Chains A and B, each alone.
Chain A
Amino acid sequence: MTEHIVTKKQYAMVFAILMLLTLATTAIGMIDLGRLNVVVALVIATIKALLVVLFFMHIYWSSKLNKLVVVSGVAWLALLLWLTLTDIFSRGWLPFPGK
């Protein structure tokens, strides 16, 4: 694997976008969008997380093995959330006698 050195200028670009997104998410948080507030906040947080993982943590330039490790981590987290939440939200959907 050839070494990829990320320049300070590239880091500065990512940093500027992260700061702008922080400002944006804080400002949007003050506006009432109903249920969309949660969605917008989480979408912005996910974009910020992607920027950090891809560029600050060099995954964009990393080997396929390291990319796989990151994807598997997210996949296990998704599994954890998915199975827990489907259990919680589907309780009471079926009538059980004596419950």
Chain B
Amino acid sequence: MANHTTLALRHQFDNVEQQKDASTFGMWVFLVTEILFFGGMFCCYTVYRSLYPSAFGHASNHLDVMLGAVSTAVLICSSFTMACAVNSAATGAKNALAAFLWVTILFAAAFLVVEMSEWHMLYKEGLMPGFNFTYHDVDPAHVQLFFCMYFAMTGLHASHVTIGIGLLVVMAIRASRGAFTPQYYTPIEISGLYWHFVDLVWIFLFPLYYLIARHLH
């Protein structure tokens, strides 16, 4: 029987369900390593923020909270459209699947544009360590530390967004070629997990960098 189901089933698995469970399990194990990858940086951030609260408070007020809120909203929208793509794949709505994937890619690109405009603003204000850092107000050394961490963490996150865009483009092209059926759409499900993880990281980056010293302004 040469249908998509049998074609998609690799010989080491008993059935499609077992193959799907194994893939999902593998992806979750990978995501746990990612949690700890970002977790190390969040830990570092927590230590330095508690050691130099006033410098970190000053520094975080140089970030544009509206840009932060907008990028959070854009990422949540992209997570929603990704979830809808998984639903479309499961119900066999092929055109909707490709459409939702492209909309997700669009939101992801919009997120990067907003983030790059924030970075550009910080560069012009002289708050980008290593490229243009001219801050000479209160405690410049620890303000610089704040921005080193800001660019390292948002940069690592942005690189994940970029990888996610590449992944979703591949999925969208495969989807429009009819590679997925309600019996076999594991790659869509797995890409979805990756994409929601990217959203998850930003859910913590946003309050920690943009919000928690805002009331001191």
Contacts and interface: CB of A to CB of B under 8 A. Distances in A.
Interface of A: 1, 3, 5-8, 11-12, 14-15, 18-19, 22, 25-26, 29-33, 37-38, 41-42, 44-45, 48-49, 52-53, 56-57, 62-63, 65-66, 69-70, 72-74, 76-77, 80-81, 84-85, 88-89
A38 B200 CA distance: 18
B18 to A, nearest CB: 9
Contacts of A74: 35
Interface of B: 17, 21, 24-25, 28-29, 31-32, 35-36, 39-40, 42-43, 46-47, 50-51, 65, 69, 72-73, 76-77, 79-80, 82-84, 86-87, 90-91, 192-193, 196-197, 199-200, 203-204, 206-208, 210-216
A81 B146 CA distance: 19
Specify the main secondary structure of chain B where it touches its partner.
Answer: helix
16 contacts: A5-B90, A18-B80, A22-B206, A25-B207, A29-B65, A29-B215, A32-B215, A56-B82, A56-B83, A69-B28, A73-B31, A73-B32, A76-B39, A81-B39, A84-B47, A88-B51
Contacts of A76: 32, 35-36, 39
B73 A22 contact: yes
Specify the main secondary structure of chain A where it touches its partner.
Answer: helix
A11 B83 contact: yes
B214 A52 contact: no
Nearest to B204: A45
A25 B210 CA distance: 11
Given A5-B90, A29-B207, A52-B200, 19 more contacts: A11-B84, A15-B80, A22-B72, A25-B207, A29-B211, A37-B212, A37-B213, A45-B203, A53-B196, A57-B197, A65-B25, A66-B24, A69-B28, A69-B32, A72-B32, A73-B28, A73-B31, A74-B35, A81-B39
A76 B29 CA distance: 13
The 6 closest A-B pairs by CB, nearest first: A73-B32, A29-B211, A41-B207, A15-B80, A32-B215, A11-B83
